[in-house]
Amino acid sequence: MLKKLILFGILTLSLCTQAQEEKILKLPNFDKPLFHYGFYLGGNNNGYKIGYKPSGFSNAEIEVTSSIGFNVGLIADLRLHNNINLRFEPGLMSNTKTLRFNHIPGTENVNIREVGATFLHLPLIFKFSTNRLNNIRPYVLGGASYDHNFSSNERNNDDNFAGEFRTTTSNFMYEVGIGVDFYLSYFKFSPSIRGVFAINNELVRDNKTPSQWTDPIDFLGTRGVFLHLSFE
């Protein structure tokens, strides 16, 4: 995550320098309407934060590996103030996570679970922007979201004893981020980098106990970073 932040900072600084050299003010009236709309694309790298609790399984350790996923969605923006906007950004997020239970001996059928997920992501975001400087405008943002997991197997009667690691269908997240608006000739381009963090516990415990897969887990929640490219 640190490498991504550094890379994003370098790219943003470079684009800001180029934008400040441009003296022609583009889209001068873009921020005046009360409402405007757009869409976004992006990628994510979401894993799990895992908290442990005492159980009958000593030295419990679960290793999480995540693959790069994608985001796509729409933007509805309401101007509350010259420097404050309220945004609704419904979209789809997809990614896959692999859990390796290092405290469980055996084959991959026993100690590895793959968790694929496609979410309906419904965030409500406050965007706090600086005053515009030529054709750039840095901002920070923060908000909360409801995520519906279409790939959830919460109601599946099969659990880890049958090879199924189950997670909840309905989840709540909060997210924070930074970005920059670039005013171009025909549209506004806004790259941002965001962190997303689960509020609720997403773990569905196994039907039987003791369970070497779920008994050691106290909390399991999404934690990740995603690159957000919006076009407005």
| Contact yes or no for 95/150 (Cβ under 8 A) | no
Report d(CA 115, CA 213) in Å as an integer.
Answer: 14
The CA distances from residue 78 to 29, 32, 59, 82, 124, in Å, are: 15, 11, 50, 11, 11
For 127-163, write each residue's pLDDT tens digit: 999 999 999 999 999 999 999 999 888 888 888 998 8
Report d(CA 140, CA 193) in Å as an integer.
Answer: 10
Higher-confidence residue of 4 and 36: namely 36
| Contact yes or no for 142/125 (Cβ under 8 A) | yes
| Contact yes or no for 39/194 (Cβ under 8 A) | no
User: Is 80 exceeded by the pLDDT of residue 27?
Assistant: yes
Q: Which of 17-31, 43-57, 115-129, 204-218 has the lowest mean pLDDT?
A: 17-31
Report d(CA 47, CA 38) in Å as an integer.
Answer: 28
Q: What is the 8-class DSSP label of residue 184?
A: -
CATH class of 2-231: mainly beta
Mean predicted confidence (pLDDT) in 81-108:
91
Report d(CA 163, CA 138) in Å as an integer.
Answer: 47
